[in-house]
Amino acid sequence: MSVVALIKDTTAKAIKQLYGLELLPSEILVNETKPEFEGDYTIVLFSFVKQLKKSPDSIGTELGNYISTNYPNLCSSFSIIKGFLNLSITPTYWINFLQQNVANTAFGTQPSNGEKVMVEYSSPNTNKPLHLGHLRNNFLGWSIAEILKANGYDVIKTCIVNDRGIHICKSMIAWQMFANGATPQSTNTKGDHFVGDYYVQFNNEYKKQVEALIATGVSKEDAEKQAPILKATQQMLLDWEAGKPDVINLWNNMNNWVYEGFNATYTTIGSDFDKVYYESNTYLLGKSIVEKGLEKNVFFKKEDGSVWIDLTPDGLDEKVVMRKDGTSVYITQDIGLAEQKQNEFNANQSIYVVGDEQNYHFKVLKLICQKLQLPSADGIYHLSYGMVELPTGKMKSREGTVVDADDLVDEMIAISQHKTEELGKVKDFTEDELKSLYNTIGLGALKFFLLRVDPKKKMIFNPEESIDFHGFTGPFIQYTHARIKSILRKFSNDFITTSLSASIQHSLLLLEKELIIQLEQFPLIIKEAAEFHDPSKIAIYIFELAKIFNSFYSEHSITNAENEEKKLLRLQLAQLTAHVLHKGMALLGIQVPDRM
């Protein structure tokens, strides 16, 4: 149990003993004591005042006395300042904690809880290369999956590829018109970029044709509908749905080019999936659901044959679930896919990592599933994250203001190479080791940058300023880890299992204690990160830990400690710190090097 949980439990017991009042531990507010006051953890007394009808000071005195006399191993002394009860935790408690966990490779993680969670993320569109927004999505999805695993969940990572529809046909038409049989191989272009370029060409040509039509006197609205290239695209979609062989062939070819490109990017950034769904296989799903919904009167049919659901009683709109031509729409496909996933995996929860522009969509999705009483309904959770914006506003592919994922990754790796070479600390590395190190640092900086902020909030990326390698960054933590490792390398691992003598508690220094206190919080942070679906809690936590360690490192020597006992204590502190940094970064999908 964490100290905070222990303090809450103890306080609840004390209040029951002293006043006969039953409180849940969760109703008790415990914070770290502000550094300017004496003590380690603080109980906020104000919330008890009303129920106990006593002054904060007298409650504090009675509580403090009770806890310090009945739990002398936990609390050595206390003070009350302005309604806050500051507890000093005994050094023995901290030393015991360190001894119990220094050799525990599972420190921070929970055993299996038997629950299954699906995490859907990435979900790319096959006619656009990945951009910065996709990176945030991928890193978030991956990290959430890892965090859930660390909390004992069985996690299945999935991806739905948006591989069909009118937009895909646009790239295909443009390729037919302009490519002269070119391929990614013949042009030496990455497949996803190759196809993406034709999508851009389509839009350029379309614009030209519309302008030409307007010049002949056609209204803008009509011109946008009549442009020959658009007509051809619409025809192609019909041909695709009819299964016309040459269209299907082209579609297959172009998609395979894209997948080759995506896979290269996924490999570089370390993303993968346990199960990939393709919309071309799932777009017909959901029809039986529409019928079921009609039977149950959840849906109703309009005169033209289209099927709707009325969500006005829930404060939303009427929503179409099947077109008049009998085809299913986006939301219906999603209901179908949710059911398919449920049948296939029977997970307790299904998390969708999707941008906050789709908040409304997922609200509707969950609501409809609930009204249909589908088993998947209650497990649907939309992990809504904010857009990555530029200082000038939203990224727009049409205006060429998109930050390309591959470009950015390459740039980050190049910068890390440049900085590493400048510092010249790893001149003995082989080519392969260097390459891997540049990747680790460059991607570490990028991932940390995107994961260190609250996922719910939109964030701003300024392409003019490169992502930092100093301060609240991935490389800062990687560097701290490498520094620890270089010390630990000099010692045999015996120190991990050696017991500290009891007397060490009398000489625990402030920075040593701060380090232990921070280390002790790791399991709690992992739990909170899962509960709030928020990897930034881990990023902030390991940064704090690294900072404390660095202060400690510059203040006190490990190798040349005052005596052998101190050296042992500090080695163990360094060992556990390295483990937590390593594990915490792994939860963000970031590796830590032993040297850099």
Which residues between 482 and 501 bind RNA (CB under 7 A)?
482-483, 485-487, 490
Within residues 376-405, the interface with RNA by CB under 7 A covers 387, 391, 393-394
Q: Does 586 bind RNA (CB under 7 A)?
A: no
Q: Does 550 bind RNA (CB under 7 A)?
A: yes
Within residues 96-125, the interface with RNA by CB under 7 A covers 125
Tokens of 65: 């006395």
Residue indicated by tokens 């006992």: 565
Q: Based on CB atoms, which residue is closest to RNA, 231 or 425? A: 425
Q: Does 162 bind RNA (CB under 7 A)?
A: yes
Structural Rg of the chain based on CA atoms: 29
The distance of closest approach from Cβ of residue 384 to RNA in the complex, given in angstroms and rounded to an integer, is 9
Within residues 411-440, the interface with RNA by CB under 7 A covers 416, 419-420, 423, 425
Residue (of 595, 457, 571) closest to 515 by Cα position: 571
Q: Does 208 bind RNA (CB under 7 A)?
A: no
Looking at 466, 557, 562, 563, which residue binds RNA (CB under 7 A)?
A: 557
Tokens of 468: 């930092």
DSSP 154-203: EEEEEEEEB--SHHHHHHHHHHHHH-TT--HHHHT--HHHHHHHHHHHHH
Contact 171, 384 (CB under 8 A): no
The distance of closest approach from Cβ of residue 449 to RNA in the complex, given in angstroms and rounded to an integer, is 8
Give the residues across from 158 on adjacent strands. 120, 275
Within residues 41-60, the interface with RNA by CB under 7 A covers 42, 44, 46-47, 49
Q: Does 281 bind RNA (CB under 7 A)?
A: no
The distance of closest approach from Cβ of residue 441 to RNA in the complex, given in angstroms and rounded to an integer, is 5
Q: Does 359 bind RNA (CB under 7 A)?
A: yes
- Cβ count near 33 (within 10 Å): 22
Q: Based on CB atoms, which residue is closest to RNA, 178 or 278? A: 278
Q: Does 277 bind RNA (CB under 7 A)?
A: no
The distance of closest approach from Cβ of residue 175 to RNA in the complex, given in angstroms and rounded to an integer, is 20
Q: Does 367 bind RNA (CB under 7 A)?
A: no
- Cβ count near 404 (within 10 Å): 17
Looking at 459, 508, 509, 586, which residue binds RNA (CB under 7 A)?
A: 459
The distance of closest approach from Cβ of residue 438 to RNA in the complex, given in angstroms and rounded to an integer, is 9
Tell which phi-psi region holds residue 29, choosing left (phi > 0), alpha (psi between -120 and 50) or beta: beta
Helix axes 536-555, 431-451, angle to 10 degrees: 120
| d(C-alpha 592, C-alpha 596), whole Å | 9
Residue (of 311, 347, 384, 259) closest to 251 by Cα position: 259
Q: Does 37 bind RNA (CB under 7 A)?
A: yes
Q: Does 464 bind RNA (CB under 7 A)?
A: no
Q: Does 165 bind RNA (CB under 7 A)?
A: yes
Q: Based on CB atoms, which residue is closest to RNA, 266 or 283? A: 283
Q: Based on CB atoms, which residue is closest to RNA, 33 or 151? A: 33
Looking at 1, 9, 16, 34, which residue binds RNA (CB under 7 A)?
A: 34
Task: Estimate to the nearest angstrom the gap between the alpha carbon of 352 and the chain centroid.
Answer: 11
Give the residues across from 78 on adjacent strands. 87
Q: Does 558 bind RNA (CB under 7 A)?
A: yes
The distance of closest approach from Cβ of residue 142 to RNA in the complex, given in angstroms and rounded to an integer, is 19
Residue indicated by tokens 């930050």: 403
Per CB under 7 A, the segment of 105-113, 138-146, 343-351, 454-462 that binds RNA is 454-462
Contact 117, 380 (CB under 8 A): no
Within residues 304-343, the interface with RNA by CB under 7 A covers 304, 306, 315, 317, 320, 323-325, 327, 329-330, 333
Residue (of 469, 456, 336, 441) closest to 386 by Cα position: 456
Q: Based on CB atoms, which residue is closest to RNA, 2 or 358? A: 358
Q: Based on CB atoms, which residue is closest to RNA, 155 or 322? A: 322
Per CB under 7 A, the segment of 195-203, 261-269, 342-350, 465-473 that binds RNA is 465-473
Contact 294, 163 (CB under 8 A): no
Q: Does 526 bind RNA (CB under 7 A)?
A: no
- Cβ count near 420 (within 10 Å): 19
**Which residues neighbour 511 within 8 Å (Cβ) at sequence distance 6 or greater?**
548, 551, 552, 555, 556
| d(C-alpha 513, C-alpha 486), whole Å | 23
